[in-house]
Chain A
Amino acid sequence: MPGSDDRAIAVTGLGATSPLGGDVQTTWDALLAGSSGARPIGEIWTERYPTLPVTFACSLAQPASEKLTPQEIRRLDPSGQYALIASREAWAHAGAPEVEKERLGVCMASGIGGLHTVLNAYDTLNDKGARRMLPMTVPMLMPNGPAAAVGLDLGARAGVHTPVSACASGAEAIAQGADLIRRGLADVVVAGGTEGCIHPVTIGAFAAMQALSKWNDDITRASRPYDVERNGFVMGEGSGAVVLESMAHAKARGATIHAVLAGVGVTSDGYHISAPEPEGKGAARAMRAALADSDLAASDIVHLNAHATSTPVGDVAEAQAIRLALGEATDSVAVSATKSMTGHLLGAAGALESIFTVLAVRDGIAPPTTNLDSQDPKITLDVVNKDPRKLPDGERAAVNNAFGFGGHNVGLVFRSA
């Protein structure tokens, strides 16, 4: 398989906290077991807001307070807390690379930002007045807060960035991290996405768009991408982070390379603020661009982690986009829709699912798609259903898709190290 060393990026560390587990291994094990991260949001909220049409979400499996100091919890919005947890795990997993701080960058995305901080500050303003508002409010609510927290934790000085492209944000951060390395601006980049905004406000707002599943009585079966009965996504929270390195840097220090980020593609639909372009043209261009960037052919792709949020329109548009991008090769691609288990982590989704794609390529196993009882006939993909599926031996390449409101499309191609 081709792929020149100066374009390819080594993935040397993985970190996550998710609705399935407080770290990568726990999350991956639960994913392969087909577990669901769906949980009730709790009576405090459902009793206070009885009109809330959705009363569940995929909240974190392990509370952040078990991983951070009380001071870190106080001084970070949940989105910042999760990013710090995921980044620290990724950094340790990479063996805490020795790198000049001026050559170390951070790209940590968020789709929504510090929503809890904004709402808490608003409550304080109303209840106690402006002089009781906390001085950390602004650093906690700003969307670059999580990236800044990670950057400070590592002392990164090659630039700290926060792409914001709704549910494509986490994948876009990884694409941006690759760009930093390819442009020679950094040797090592911690890249990923974070989201911590499960709240009646976001649930009510997404429900107002008819974007959420309302299966309040059957919450673990509500997220069901590609199934004929799918009726919306399930909100999730958490963070995923990867350590990206130039091949030269990773090899020089003898790092374990879990997979190679071979190509990135970023496009926009120019079509509608929230609906995907129905034929999937923009998404197809992102996948094609990533393939072209990778020097791989569509026939090299054996697996695809789909964006597949479980919305009626979005899943079909992506399925068409995949066929548009990969052509006949589509039939030999094992497609997984892991949001069936994790829910939709919004700005963290593309990062967490990139981790799943890296592990699938590395370990030769595609995660299952749960709740797929009856596949929508409009979805003409080979979906990995119920149980994980072994991928072909030898070198493997896979695609991760992430799309966001605003018409953002990101395709990432990973291949074996």
Chain B
Amino acid sequence: MAHTQDEILAGLAELVAEETGIPAGDVQLEKSFTDDLDIDSLSMMTIVVNAQDKFDVEIPDEAVGGLKTVQDAVSYISNAETAKA
């Protein structure tokens, strides 16, 4: 079953917190993963792998570069869930 945008944000924030220690509350839609949250590429790839698992979607390598902000990632996961449904 597809998740709401809020559910995806909360799930993503949890993955970011687990990987980096950044408080989940700081993971907000307008934040940039690199510029605001200071997440390096290795951590970003880890978050992506774990997000695929958590939401049961595929995020191809070529799509990861386009995920600049938390909103980008939430939208991508939401669209992927919808497409699958």
> Chain A interface secondary structure, helix, strand, loop or mixed?
helix
Taking a contact as CB atoms under 8 Å apart, the answer to whether B19 and A74 are in contact is yes
Is A42 located at the chain interface by the 8 A CB criterion? no
Taking a contact as CB atoms under 8 Å apart, the answer to whether B42 and A132 are in contact is no
Taking a contact as CB atoms under 8 Å apart, the answer to whether B19 and A135 are in contact is no
A70 contact set on B, CB distance < 8 A:
18, 21
Least distance between A145 CB and chain B CB atoms (Å): 13
Taking a contact as CB atoms under 8 Å apart, the answer to whether B18 and A131 are in contact is no
Taking a contact as CB atoms under 8 Å apart, the answer to whether B52 and A132 are in contact is yes
- The residue in chain B whose Cβ has the minimal distance to the Cβ of A72 is B21
Within 50-94 of A, Cβ neighbours of B (below 8 Å) are at: 69-71, 74
Contact for A134 among B18, B21, B49, CB less than 8 A: B49
Least distance between A77 CB and chain B CB atoms (Å): 15
B21 contact set on A, CB distance < 8 A:
69-71
Is A272 located at the chain interface by the 8 A CB criterion? no
Is A273 located at the chain interface by the 8 A CB criterion? no
Taking a contact as CB atoms under 8 Å apart, the answer to whether A135 and B53 are in contact is no
Contact for A131 among B20, B42, B58, CB less than 8 A: B58
Taking a contact as CB atoms under 8 Å apart, the answer to whether B49 and A132 are in contact is yes
Least distance between B59 CB and chain A CB atoms (Å): 9
- The residue in chain B whose Cβ has the minimal distance to the Cβ of A135 is B45
**Interface 1/0s, chain B 19-52, versus A by CB < 8 A?**
1110000000000000000000010011001001
Is A48 located at the chain interface by the 8 A CB criterion? no
Is A183 located at the chain interface by the 8 A CB criterion? no
- The residue in chain A whose Cβ has the minimal distance to the Cβ of B60 is A131
Within 96-132 of A, Cβ neighbours of B (below 8 Å) are at: 128, 131-132
**Interface 1/0s, chain A 130-169, versus B by CB < 8 A?**
0111111001000000000000000000000000000000
- The residue in chain A whose Cβ has the minimal distance to the Cβ of B20 is A71
Contact for A74 among B18, B49, B52, B58, CB less than 8 A: B18
Taking a contact as CB atoms under 8 Å apart, the answer to whether A136 and B53 are in contact is no
Show the binding face of B for A, using Cβ within 8 Å.
Answer: 18-21, 42, 45-46, 49, 52-53, 58
Given contacts A71-B18, A135-B46, 18 further A-B contacts (CB under 8 A): A69-B21, A70-B18, A71-B20, A71-B21, A74-B18, A74-B19, A128-B53, A131-B49, A131-B52, A131-B58, A132-B52, A133-B49, A134-B46, A134-B49, A135-B42, A135-B45, A136-B46, A139-B42
